[in-house]
Every structure is written in structure tokens, then in C-alpha cells.
Amino acid sequence: MVTEDKVFMQTIKPWRFLVIIVLLGFTAFYVYSRAEAVVPVHTPFNQFPQQVGEWSMIGEARFDERVLKVLKPTDYLSRTYLSEEGQNLSLYVGYHDGGIMSGSIHSPRQCLPGSGWNRLYSQVRKVKLGSRTIPYISSFYQKGLEKQLFLYWFQVRDRILTNEYTLKLAIAQNVLLSNRRESSFIRISLMATDREEEATKVGEQFIRDFYPSIRATLPE
């Protein structure tokens, strides 16, 4: 009995299979044989501003080797800022330069549940900054009685991304077109127990205040 699949296969000329195989082979060779350029940050993280507007840095953390082996950033920034109104939040920028020692970005969706935080809900929101719109992921997590708000996005050059799959596609496109595979992860976190709406407003204002500095630090 001849199935539909067999009939379909018989209608395709053998030379077409050969062409497809050759093209796939060239594509694989092109991607894996190229040594992607290691791209440094535009401005060193130690020059990142400690004060912007009403925000002042009150602490800076350095991770131990155990954490760094998991995250595998080329370089990173982990700071705590305090506003003049007493609002406290943390900023993390993890940079991966695309070199062999640089790992891939770890999304909070994968990391936080393993540390005891349960996600309540997550959505993509947007912040207006002049003529530009900055999309980001807003996620609320809970651990016991505590709630925490995370605002984060991924960045490949000047592209802001809110999806892990589009992040992978953007990196692949960057490899093919520019011989580069650097990427960044930007995350803002603050406590939001019983004040979720207020926490969102505070986080969005921080994005407006600090995005120009973040953008100036990362490569274009």
C-alpha cells in the first residue's frame, strides 16, 4: 500500500535533497567554524554612576565563585540604590561578551523557583522614555509572606527583548551578520509586600532614570 508520505517523497527530485543537504552543511560550517569576536562593554562597570537624579548607591555586591559558575557572566554589576523618598531597590546587569568563558543568560523563570520563590504572575509592560518605548517583563514572586517584584529584559546590542526564544534568535542573527554573540541581562528587584502598584511605579521610574546609563555602558 502506498501512503501519502511515500507519494509526497516520490514527487521530490533527488537533486533537491542534495541541494538542501549542501546548503545546511554550508550553514553549519559557517556558524561553527567562525571565531566570534569577544566584545567588551562600552564603559567599564566600575564607572557606572553611583548617583542619578534622586537615586544614590548604598551598597555593591560581589558574588562568590559558586554563584559565578552558575551565572557565568563576563562582567556584572550588582548594586543597591536608595531614593530620596526612602525607596530601596537592587540593580543587576550581567554582561556576556560571547567568548568561550562566557555562559548563556539565566532567566528568573528558571532560577527563582529553585531558591524558594514562587511566581504569582508575569506580564510584559512598557515604559515611555522620550520618543522611545522600553518593554520589560514584570514578574511578582512570593516566598512565605514576602512578595518581590522583578522588572527585567534581555539586550542584544540596541535590541531590547522580553522573550528567551527571541533572545536566541537575536544572538544567532548577530553571529551571522556581525560575527558577534554578546548579550546582556538587566534586572531590577524590590520588595512589594502589600504595595504591588506602588512598587511597579517605583521600578518604572528607576528604568526611566537609569536606562540612558545602562545603554551607554553596553556595546552597540
Domain regions of the chain by residue span: 4-33, 45-217
Please name the residue that has the C-alpha cell 527563582. Answer: 112
Contacts of 198 (CB under 8 A, 6+ apart): 192
Which numeric CATH code is attached to 45-217? 3.40.1000
Question: What pTM was computed for the model?
Answer: 0.80
Is residue 98 a contact partner of residue 73, using CB atoms and an 8 Å limit?
no
Percent of residues, the chain, with pLDDT higher than 70: 80
d(C-alpha 137, C-alpha 139), whole Å: 6
More confident site: 77 or 103: 77
pLDDT digits (tens, 9 = 90+) for 6-39: 444 455 556 565 655 655 555 444 445 455 678 8
